[in-house]
Homo-oligomer: A and B are copies of this chain.
Amino acid sequence: MCEQALKYLTENRDNTLKKLNDFLSIPSVSTDSVHKKDINEAANFLETYLNDIGFDKVEQQDTGGHPLVYAEYNQAGPDAPTVLFYGHYDVQPVDPIDQWKSDPFKPEVRDGRLYARGSSDDKGQVFMHLAVFEAYMKTEGKLPLNVKVCIEGEEEIGSENLYRILHDKQDQFNADFAVISDSGMIAENQPTILYGLKGFTGIEINVTGPDHDMHSGMYGGAIRNPIMALNHILTSMKNEDEVVTVDGFYDGVEPLTDKERELIKQVQGEDYRSTAGVNETASEKGYTAKEHTMARPTFEINGMYGGYQGEGTKTIIPSSATAKITCRLVPGQDPDQVQQLLEKHVYDVAPSGVEVEVVKEKLSAKAYKVEPNNPLIEKAAKSYTKAFGKETVFVRMGGSIPVVEWIEDIYKMPIVLLGFGTPDDRLHSPNESFPLDSFDKGMETLVHYWSEINTK
């Protein structure tokens, strides 16, 4: 029954892309309050589109933060399974803006890639699902299964309100299984299903010294330098072997089995060096880069600043310094406990003569792992292969999708992670893009999957 839908997608490709461009042109940056208007515009866009497709009960739910777009389709009948589709319409900030080759919010196609903030993470992938639903409705007049749509606007700022909503509205969001497309393939055109994701936690460290910037000649040697103090705190947390030296950080971490190491080794795909543009990888002593990224916890400083940053020199002892730190966790680690360990460590090593404050990152998530032989996942793998003409591989990845842990935690339903991104998409950084080829084959995959899913 899916040939018609596929035909529709082919014939309407231009319209679909035009509509996607409209969606990507909305600067829905969730972390920056100046974009509140744009966030609402993106939510309105989705509400309109879902209504046009023919969903019932389309609504914007008030979360206390950015609105959550909800919709239902029940016309497949009580015997058909119900899928909960999750995605997010908010995007990361665009800075450093001067490194973009084209306006992040004026989508532009270059060498078969669509360049725009959100093209891959996650507006592009959300849009693929909606376009496929449209194709089915326009050709078959119905969808092969019942659908609940949950598209939030706060993923890039930690989905602050989502857990509460999923927890409080279980009748509304409950389904037979969930599908999420907010991840990537290990290589372009290599169908990939994630069976493991990392957990997440973080802290911000603020070090305050003198109450104003001091002349380095008159005060150098008399007071503690906040930047240097912060340097000493940070180097005490991770050594040059890339081993985290915070007491208890690795407690409970499942050791990597030889079988899993073998599996990871077999994973083809990106060479981190070429995609990152570095001459050498760097990973935890005793583990390969792939092993560390996919299956070992990480500790990264995402940003640090203090003192003078302008042209030329300014001979001061700055009054403060700040570092933003996030960790990716693996099964066996409890995010809250790890966060407390980080906080305790910082206060324990804080030098005298400065004030040190730890601000706890609100977002936290446990790591996630599912069994690859689940039939829902096997059908997804088959659909992938049909569309891409290649065997599907199963991998664990270093990314964190808190909602995955929450859905499992609250609903215990199987979750299928159908990612279509590629290693070259430059998520979260300048010149984010998405291959149009993945866009087409991804939609084809979804068409196959929905028609497969209802068959016994």
Contact = CB atoms under 8 A, between A and B. Distances in A.
Interface in A276-319: 276-284, 287, 289-290, 292-293, 296, 298, 300-318
A252 interface: no
Given A93-B314, A293-B222, A326-B313, A298 B231 contact: no
Contacts of A234: 228, 231
Contact of A313 (B314, B323, B324): B324
Interface stretch (A13-21, A40-48, A346-354): A346-354
Interface stretch (A105-113, A124-132, A204-212): A204-212
Interface string A243-280: 00000000000000000000000000000110011111
A409 interface: no
A194 to B, nearest CB: 11
Interface in A413-455: 423, 426-431
A377 to B, nearest CB: 21
A210 B278 contact: yes
Contacts of A218: 184, 293, 397-399, 423, 427
A352 B310 contact: no
A328 B217 contact: yes
Given A272-B219, A312-B31, A304 B307 contact: yes
Contacts of A293: 218-222
Contact of A280 (B32, B227, B290, B353): B353
Nearest to A227: B301
A266 B237 CA distance: 42
Contacts of A223: 272-273, 276, 278, 281-282, 289
A146 interface: no
Q: Which of A209, A222, A328 has the most B CB atoms < 10 Å from its CB?
A: A222
Contacts of A277: 210-212
A212 B94 CA distance: 12
Question: Main SS of the interface on chain A?
Answer: loop
A300 to B, nearest CB: 5
Contact of A290 (B93, B222, B301): B222
Interface residue tally of chain A, by bracket? 35 or more
Contacts of A32: 310-312
A368 to B, nearest CB: 13
A123 interface: no
A95 interface: yes
A31 B428 contact: no
A290 to B, nearest CB: 7
A29 B215 CA distance: 17
B310 A93 contact: yes
A240 interface: yes
Interface in A189-227: 198, 202, 209-225, 227
B211 A276 contact: yes
A363 interface: yes
A157 interface: yes
B213 A351 contact: no
A92 interface: yes
A338 to B, nearest CB: 14
A26 to B, nearest CB: 19
A69 interface: no
A92 B293 CA distance: 45
A56 interface: no
15 contacts: A31-B310, A93-B308, A210-B278, A213-B428, A215-B428, A216-B302, A216-B326, A221-B242, A221-B292, A222-B290, A224-B282, A225-B301, A240-B351, A301-B307, A302-B313
Given A32-B312, A221-B292, 6 more contacts: A211-B276, A216-B398, A218-B427, A222-B292, A225-B300, A227-B323
Interface of A: 31-33, 92-93, 95, 99, 157-158, 184, 198, 202, 209-225, 227-228, 231-232, 234-235, 238, 240, 242, 272-273, 276-284, 287, 289-290, 292-293, 296, 298, 300-318, 321-324, 326, 328, 351-354, 361, 363, 397-400, 423, 426-431
